[in-house]
Chain A
Amino acid sequence: MCPQDIKIMQRILTGNDQIAAEVRASLAGKGIACINLMSSPGSGKTTLLQKTATKLNKGMFVIEGDIYTTLDSERLQSAGIGVYQINTGPFGGDCHLEAAWIRSALNEIDLAGIDFLFIENIGNLVCPAEFDIGAHKNIVVLSVTEGEDKPLKYPLAFRNAQLCLISKVDLLPYLDLNLNELKQNIKRINPQLMMIEISSIIEKGLDDWINFIMACRQNAPEG
């Protein structure tokens, strides 16, 4: 019964991080750029992916994360996009994806001819930001209907992203939103974060978005 103090000093999410690194390296080895889309529910991620498919003249595939329903997958499939659905629910399911989900999905997906793998994370601006899922780029999507304050309320998503898409900007004329204040708040959280104003409906910012995506692949995927 000798008391012992065992020092460990290890990151709690080490296991997830190791799987994420494997996923990232495996995809890079196949020449596939993996892009993780994070946002609140209803920011326009699925519509953006539909529109992306019409503009991106490359092989693309989507891993769709939802607690429940295959509604988003059906929308993407009807647009001719290859998709693999992850449901973590239906009741009490995880509110985010982890690297192990992605590794399991990749074991079942035929990646031949795929240049870009998009992961539409579960709609939630808090939890997905905590977990590395093996993407080469993390994108946070924030719609203008959500208000100027959201970057301040959910800073980790903005800290861990390499690009912020400010979506649904076609609605700006109808909203009492100060776009400059929104951008200033984003810069307060992550001064280096690149931003693109985008609208899938009026096709604003899509060329910049496609250029960003293409650069992800041209610049050899990395961690």
Chain B
Amino acid sequence: MHEAAIVRSLLDLAFQAATKAGLSNVSSVNVMTGKIHHLVNEVLLLHFDLMKATYNGFERAVLHIEEKDVIIQCYACGQTKELDRPFFICPNCESPDTKLIAGDELHIISIEGSST
């Protein structure tokens, strides 16, 4: 249940950005989350809807989540592979010498809204 702490940090960042840009009515908050983080989207959305009312201008905001698959690059065979399970071994040549190139994202991308 680390989703609550992540949503709290997300709203803090989004509120700072909205204040700086002069947005008084935020309509959406857009985030990118990698599957390695084990986040449950429904729980993120639930916490977002519970917490947003405490941030001025976010009362009508909607959270949009872009979930990223886990992708590794193999140093041994050079292939790039998407993983359907958390085995960080190359599915092609079984080398453990791999690098995670996607799926570790935990970013706020943007906010959308308007000023009054």
Contact count A vs B, C-beta below 8 Å? 106
B111, CB-defined interface residue at 8 Å: yes
Task: Assess whether A188 is in contact with B87, with CB atoms less than 8 Å apart.
Answer: yes
Q: Which of A8, A13, A98, A187 has the most CB of B within 10 A?
A: A8
B109, CB-defined interface residue at 8 Å: yes
Partner of A4 from the list B86, B87, B113 (CB cut-off 8 Å) is B113
Determine how close the nearest CB of chain B comes to the CB of A126; give it in whole angstroms: 6
Q: For chain B, residues 30 to 46, give those with C-beta under 8 angstroms from any C-beta of chain A.
A: 31, 36-38
Partner of B114 from the list A2, A11, A191 (CB cut-off 8 Å) is A2
Q: How many residues of B contact A (CB 8 A)?
A: 38
Q: How many residues of A contact B (CB 8 A)?
A: 35
Task: Assess whether B36 is in contact with A159, with CB atoms less than 8 Å apart.
Answer: yes
Task: Assess whether B110 is in contact with A191, with CB atoms less than 8 Å apart.
Answer: no
- Binary contact track B92-116/A, C-beta < 8 Å → 1, others 0: 0000111000000011111111111
A56, CB-defined interface residue at 8 Å: no
Enumerate chain B interface residues (CB-CB to A < 8 A): 1-2, 4-6, 9-10, 12-14, 17-18, 21, 23, 27, 31, 36-38, 85-89, 96-98, 106-116
Can you list 18 A-B contacts (CB < 8 A)? Answer: A1-B114, A3-B27, A5-B111, A6-B18, A6-B23, A9-B108, A10-B107, A11-B106, A12-B106, A15-B13, A127-B5, A130-B2, A156-B37, A159-B36, A189-B86, A189-B87, A191-B97, A191-B98
A8-B109, A96-B5 known; 15 other A-B pairs, CB under 8 Å? A6-B17, A6-B18, A10-B13, A10-B107, A12-B31, A12-B106, A15-B9, A126-B2, A127-B2, A130-B6, A155-B86, A156-B36, A159-B88, A188-B87, A188-B89
